[in-house]
Structure 1
């Protein structure tokens, strides 16, 4: 009997890194009995590494109206493709972080997936990584600022956008457990000190009794690197200019490089976005539910789910970095852009050199012909 594992996030818990790793090592993982299948679906703006997106994709018509029947049909088609592979491997992994926050992936829908797989002789298990709620909401706000948002963290915290997140983990886990059974819920904590092997990839592999070894291909860059602190505030302010609001605009790689350099030099202010009062009130909302998760899913009688220290600094994001630091960052952007222009000019000159040589030869030849 095969087992299908659906990795549902949560967002901002290393899902991109896991998806890239499993895609890069698809062949080797198959040899070890773990299949990360490509089910053959493509969705605009969605990386193909997210191989479970077909189970919860939003599909629209030309008038941007949700086609919910089409969405369910697509999910069922994906399941049929998966079922056709079940006799080839003992374990299958599907991953998409949108599943966690997608309200349409409810108990009824998950139960439907479970029944379809059960009819084919497969079990369904759900893998979820939980990040402390204050850190997750800060990380997601930072991601949106990195793209194009201008809203401050304090305003974001009380906005409708923030309410999109299912931060009541205990409630969301119950919805899923009611479909697949609590015994089929694999709950892990997104904290380095709680990872098996000290990193997210080793921890995920260990769920399948696999160890991280040198035989695996690893990404040579940070997947979806974050901006924070002063570099993030610079980007938020620049977002008021339309030139900087495209998702992959030119300033983000420069800010990422600058941040890495400044962190290496020391003294870089990463920023904490909650005030002390906001922070305490925010965490208190989820304390009881988190304690219940620790007891019910991890067997921790002390009720401690998250072990990292809670750190609060300042009264708001504007007071966590200095004007001097932000001006320094802007200066670095100007210098980097100037250096890039100079480099491009040098490369252009090198490309033009052979052409200019040919032009001169043609010119000399023309003179000789005319002088005859």
Structure 2
């Protein structure tokens, strides 16, 4: 009898990081329960940073040749070696079920030939694909936070929306049909990343249930959000930092501090399914109109009635549309950073005074931030 191979393909910003944290920390218990989660951290020969891996991102990356900056490629490695490595772990395990997880599969395995190559590599398994979806406006809103926080984008929200419109992986129906046309409709499971749609309101319970495994007391839960978000105010401040600072390490230091600020000022940033109202209703309506035809097809082919209702009724309504920082918030955040790491304020001061600084075009931000930073430096007798 063939072993069942479940592949959780994401999508990104739909609980994937938390899932991989959970699966990795429980892999021994899960194997005893009959579900193997191959150890991604044994992939030292395939990645220069194996300690960061809790998902199987290496599989789609070596298959497509596209790599995240924080998971750099090692030369001389082929996708066949990756597949062999995974298959050897599967062969050595008595477990009759296997689970791979990588949200990179969602946007990297995006052509019929690549999907077919992936399927052929595991042709001697009973292959099942599991995808978690969140409506495009919620997904884009969450993606913007991630890109400002971790990839240090400088786009404003409207520019980011336009950029996402060019991403074919946001056309969910068309994307899922790549898999249907290769392994058949009955081998695809689509779930909606909404608390009310998940078994016990838990992404962990829900994914295990799709694999025929019940959550038990031996399984540990992550102690904190594996991928926390910036609060709206911290998000806008981080974008300012991204605009005026070129050094990636410096931007990362700001991001870490602003995440701590967010956690202390907005509990939603560390809560699963936390609400963020970055997008206003006009922006949400524009996004949903853009994808309306795709979503009608998605609903008619892949979703149950309850899933349709949840998908159509987003948990968040449009926000205020106020994507600007007040002078009070600039003062509050700047002083928080000053108290935590004064050196970062020194760096901001130097960057603000560089000729050609892009922030000068936004006079309101420039003047308030410059005055606030100068007041911090005056307290330390540095100017």
State if a TM-score over 0.5 links the two structures. Answer: yes
Greater Cα shift, 178-187 or 306-315: 306-315
Task: Find the counterpart in structure 1 of residue 80 from structure 2.
Answer: 73
Task: Find the counterpart in structure 1 of residue 28 from structure 2.
Answer: 27
User: Structure 1 residue 155 and structure 2 residue 156: aligned?
Assistant: no
Cα distance in 2, alignment partners of residues 127 and 247 from structure 1: 38
Query: Alignment partner of 1:223: what SS?
Result: coil
Task: Find the counterpart in structure 1 of residue 56 from structure 2.
Answer: 51
Task: Find the counterpart in structure 2 of residue 188 from structure 1.
Answer: 191
Q: Which of 273, 290, 306 is the matching residue for 1:285? A: 290
Task: Find the counterpart in structure 1 of residue 97 from structure 2.
Answer: 91
User: Structure 1 residue 201 and structure 2 residue 207: aligned?
Assistant: no
CA spacing shift, 1:245–1:113, aligned 2, 3 Å = closer
User: Structure 1 residue 4 and structure 2 residue 10: aligned?
Assistant: no
* Alpha-carbon distance, 1:27 to partner: 0.6
Task: Find the counterpart in structure 2 of residue 142 from structure 1.
Answer: 145
Structure 1 residues without counterparts, runs of 5 or longer: 340-372
Cα distance in 1, alignment partners of residues 220 and 74 from structure 2: 39
* Alpha-carbon distance, 1:156 to partner: 1.9
Structure 2 residues without counterparts, runs of 5 or longer: 68-72, 269-274, 344-383
CA spacing shift, 1:256–1:217, aligned 2, 3 Å = same
User: Structure 1 residue 323 and structure 2 residue 327: aligned?
Assistant: yes
Q: Are the counterparts in 2 of residues 231 and 255 from structure 1 also a CA contact under 8 Å? A: yes
Query: Alignment partner of 2:98: what SS?
Result: strand
1:144-180: CA deviations, max 9, x gaps?
1113222211122223x66235111000000111111
Task: Find the counterpart in structure 2 of residue 262 from structure 1.
Answer: 265
Task: Find the counterpart in structure 1 of residue 320 from structure 2.
Answer: 314
Cα distance in 2, alignment partners of residues 60 and 111 from structure 1: 17
Cα distance in 2, alignment partners of residues 124 and 50 from structure 1: 18
Q: Which of 263, 276, 279 is the matching residue for 2:281? A: 276
Cα distance in 2, alignment partners of residues 22 and 302 from structure 1: 25
Q: Are the counterparts in 2 of residues 106 and 176 from structure 1 also a CA contact under 8 Å? A: no
Query: Alignment partner of 1:235: what SS?
Result: helix
Query: Alignment partner of 2:297: what SS?
Result: helix
Cα distance in 2, alignment partners of residues 287 and 67 from structure 1: 41
Q: Are the counterparts in 2 of residues 6 and 124 from structure 1 also a CA contact under 8 Å? A: yes
Cα distance in 1, alignment partners of residues 215 and 130 from structure 2: 19
Cα distance in 2, alignment partners of residues 200 and 127 from structure 1: 12
Cα distance in 2, alignment partners of residues 220 and 302 from structure 1: 29
CA spacing shift, 1:274–1:264, aligned 2, 3 Å = closer
* Alpha-carbon distance, 1:210 to partner: 3.0
Query: Alignment partner of 1:225: what SS?
Result: coil
Matched residue count: 325
Cα distance in 2, alignment partners of residues 312 and 71 from structure 1: 46
Cα distance in 2, alignment partners of residues 299 and 196 from structure 1: 15
* Alpha-carbon distance, 1:131 to partner: 1.0
CA spacing shift, 1:132–1:244, aligned 2, 3 Å = farther
Cα distance in 2, alignment partners of residues 247 and 334 from structure 1: 14
Greater Cα shift, 150-159 or 133-142: 150-159
* Alpha-carbon distance, 1:89 to partner: 1.5
